[in-house]
Every structure is written in C-alpha cells, then in structure tokens.
Amino acid sequence: MQLINRGLILVECGAMEEIEPIEMQWKVCPAKVYHKKAIFGWILIVVVGAFISSTSIILGILLTAFLVATQANFFFNSTFKINEEGLEAKYPFRTKKYTWKQVRRVKFFKDACYLFTRKKPSNLDGWSGTAVYYLDQRDRVVPAIKSYLLEGTAT
C-alpha cells in the first residue's frame, strides 16, 4: 500500500521516503477533439452574425465578436499548470490561479474536473471555481490533482 501526499510516500513498513513533487503543464483545445461541435458552433455564430449584420454592420460585428468570446474556452487553446503551490489556468481571455488551500471541493468528470472554493454546492459555483480540461490526458492529470488535494477536500 502506498499513499502519496505532498512529496512523501508512506510505504507498507511505515517508513517515509521523499519523492519529487509533481509538476505538470498541458494545453488543450476541445474544438480539436470535438470537430462536429466546433463546425456547428462556427456555422451558428456566422449565421447569427450575418442576420444581425443585415440590419446593422457594426452591431453584427460586435455581437459576432461577443459570441466568439463567450465560446473561447472551447474554440481556442487553454494552458494548465499544476505544481505544489496550486493550479494555474490560462484561458484565452483570462488567467485563474488557485492555491491548494483555496480548493475546498472537486468534481471529476470524463473530460474535465471543476475546482471550487466553496465546500458545499451553491448557485455561486460558476463564480467560485474553475474548469480544468484534460480530455485525453485524464490518466495523468487526475492522479496529480488528487495527490495535491488537502485532507478534507470534498470530492
């Protein structure tokens, strides 16, 4: 039996061994994985933009840019970095940083996990957390995140 937590391994005999902390960095672009959804999304944005542009060119351009911006996490690359200090998520238009002390709850899903700063589910979850996309790298990322979670973090 081995337990990995913050750079130490507890082996069966009870001895502690020092291990190297895990540091990972990866890039994901969901649009490259889900081609059909990406094509449908771009077509929908272009069609809506064209309809709006038929009445007002400036409004059409602005609203098309707004639609692209709202879906930027899906269409463009996001970079994630995990180390012993916390998680850094660089999305196309913003960067979020969380220390492991701030993470109070984690939900793991097939393609992503969500880190929340609130222990109990709330309507504020959209504002108090961040999505970490791992797509096909789930086998590497999930154990790394779990190894850094503090005791008592809800999953």
pLDDT digits (tens, 9 = 90+) for 5-43: 444 444 444 455 555 667 899 999 999 999 999 999 999
Q: How far is CA 62 from CA 27, 38, 102, 140, in A?
A: 29, 21, 36, 40
Query: Residue 65 CA to chain centroid, in angstroms?
Result: 23
Residue 41 in any domain: the answer is yes
Number of domains the chain is built from: 1
Using the predicted structure, report yes or no on whether residue 154 has a pLDDT greater than 90: no
Q: Which domain holds residue 56?
A: 37-72
Tokens of 93: 């238009």
Using the predicted structure, report yes or no on whether residue 118 has a pLDDT greater than 50: yes
Higher per-residue pLDDT: 47 or 128: 47
Residue 132 in any domain: the answer is no
Residue 153 in any domain: the answer is no
Tens of pLDDT, residue by residue over 48-84, are 999 999 999 999 999 999 999 999 999 999 999 999 9
pLDDT of residue 16: 53
pLDDT of residue 17: 54
Mean pLDDT for the stretch of residues 74-103: 94
Residue 58 in any domain: the answer is yes
| Cα–Cα dist 50/48, whole Å | 5
| Cα–Cα dist 141/112, whole Å | 10
* DSSP code at position 55: T
| Cα–Cα dist 124/105, whole Å | 13
pLDDT of residue 9: 44
pLDDT of residue 122: 84
Mean pLDDT for the stretch of residues 134-151: 92
| Cα–Cα dist 131/90, whole Å | 11
- Asked if 1 and 38 count as a contact pair (C-beta separation under 8 A), the reply is no
pLDDT of residue 111: 92
Residue 56 in any domain: the answer is yes
pLDDT of residue 73: 93
Residue 105 in any domain: the answer is no
Residue 44 in any domain: the answer is yes
Strand partners for 115: 106, 130
Question: Whole-model pTM?
Answer: 0.78
Residue 80 in any domain: the answer is no
pLDDT of residue 63: 94
